[in-house]
């Protein structure tokens, strides 16, 4: 066998193993649910399950529809979350209020005088780095430390959660 074929044949099992494992070896299980605030469904909210189960996990997120329903994504759209324990945050922002005090009008191409500083701060995960927004639900629900919402995702079980915010 020519040397290039020998190298390819010897590497083939390794390549198949890497491709077959999906890369990082995390196997999400479907997770869905409903977010309610004061008894009413919350539309267009960002739901994030923050991994708290030690090493070997990853956070997952999703967005609610008009009925407050969501599905989580970890690796690919709506694939769910890795089984384990999570702290949950929920954030809903009033899009009409975004940047009004900053002079930002995206449709008109006006990104504000301090756009570069804002983007740099957001990229570096610094508090206040994003454009100030009017939160339509209490801000505590967008904080891992303050939300108080915890959920466990289990493989092979119905992971459909109703989260009532008060």
- Which has the higher per-residue pLDDT, 152 or 22? 152
Domains and CATH numbers, the chain: 26-92+135-166 (2.60.40.1120), 95-133 (no CATH)
CA 34/CA 49 separation, integer angstroms: 13
Lowest average pLDDT, out of 37-41, 86-90, 94-98, 117-121, goes to 117-121
Nearest to 72 by CA among 86, 60, 84: 60
Residue 113 has a pLDDT of 56
- Full-prediction pTM beyond 0.75? no
**Distances, alpha carbon 58 to alpha carbons 26, 81, 83, in Å:** 8, 8, 10
Confidence of residue 17 (pLDDT cuts 50, 70, 90): very low
Which of helix, strand or coil describes residue 162?
A: strand
**Distances, alpha carbon 68 to alpha carbons 20, 39, 61, 149, in Å:** 35, 11, 14, 17
Other beta carbons less than 10 A from residue 104's beta carbon: 17
Overall average pLDDT of the 130-154 stretch: 84
Helical H runs in 21-131? 115-123
């Amino acid at each position: 066998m020519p040397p290039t074929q020998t190298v390819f044949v010897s590497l083939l099992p390794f390549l198949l193993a890497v491709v077959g494992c999906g890369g990082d070896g995390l196997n999400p299980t479907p997770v869905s649910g409903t977010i309610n605030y004061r008894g009413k469904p919350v539309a267009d909210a960002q739901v994030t399950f923050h991994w708290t189960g030690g090493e070997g996990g990853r956070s997952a997120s999703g967005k609610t529809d008009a009925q407050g329903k969501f599905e989580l994504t970890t690796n690919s759209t709506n694939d769910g979350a890795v089984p384990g324990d999570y702290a949950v945050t929920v954030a809903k922002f009033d899009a009409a209020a975004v940047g009004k005090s900053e002079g930002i009008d995206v449709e008109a191409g006006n990104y504000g005088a301090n756009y570069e500083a804002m983007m740099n701060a957001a990229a570096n995960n610094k508090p206040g780095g994003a454009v100030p927004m009017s939160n339509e639900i209490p801000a505590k629900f967008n904080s891992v430390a303050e939300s108080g919402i915890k959920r466990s995702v289990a493989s092979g079980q119905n992971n459909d959660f109703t989260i009532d915010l008060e």
